[in-house]
Amino acid sequence: MTPDRHGPHDCPACWGGTCHGGGNRDCVQRDPYPSRIAGILDGYGGTRVVVAHHGTFKQHLREGEFLCVVPRKQVHEPIVWGDIPAVVWLGEQAIARWVKAHRNSNDEDKRAAIHAYRARLMWERQRSLDLGAIAFT
């Protein structure tokens, strides 16, 4: 269960109720500068999704990671709770497109990251959620 996000009482969009986020032009918390969505692929095949201003993505990258920006998509922060799954899906699709485009790369780091990413995808498809094993560890 997700906690309720309450907006400020002076916000004309939410009036102290559930925050409507940056998608609503009337929200007082809305960032006037649009942000971009990007997926990040690390060298071990792990992924994460970042929402940030276009010039600040380098602050989210570590050595050996690859940035996959979603083309032609801008969002205003804060992201509404209901929109977060779509944002994550867009970031994951950007990573999948990047992997497909760079599958024949001559760069050893890219090849290793792509191989690990594909192995993780195969592992995730064959596993099921075992709450007993999670609680045991």
List pLDDT tens digits, range 85-103: 899 999 999 999 999 999 9
H or E segment to which residue 49 belongs: strand 47-52
- Residue 52 in tokens: 């940030």
Within a domain: 137: no
Cα–Cα distance between 96 and 73 in angstroms, integer?
A: 16
Same domain, 119 and 55: yes
pTM exceeding the 0.85 threshold for the entire prediction = no
Same domain, 101 and 124: yes
The string of pLDDT tens digits covering residues 5-23 is 555 666 766 666 666 666 6
Within a domain: 112: yes
Our count of domains for the chain comes to 2
Same domain, 60 and 12: no
Within a domain: 24: yes
H or E segment to which residue 120 belongs: helix 108-126
- Mark 85-104 as b/e (b = at least 16 C-beta within 10 Å): eebbebbeebbbebbeebee
Domain of residue 3, residue span: 1-30
Same domain, 18 and 39: no
Instruction: For residue 59, give the DSSP letter.
Output: G
Same domain, 14 and 70: no
Same domain, 101 and 83: yes
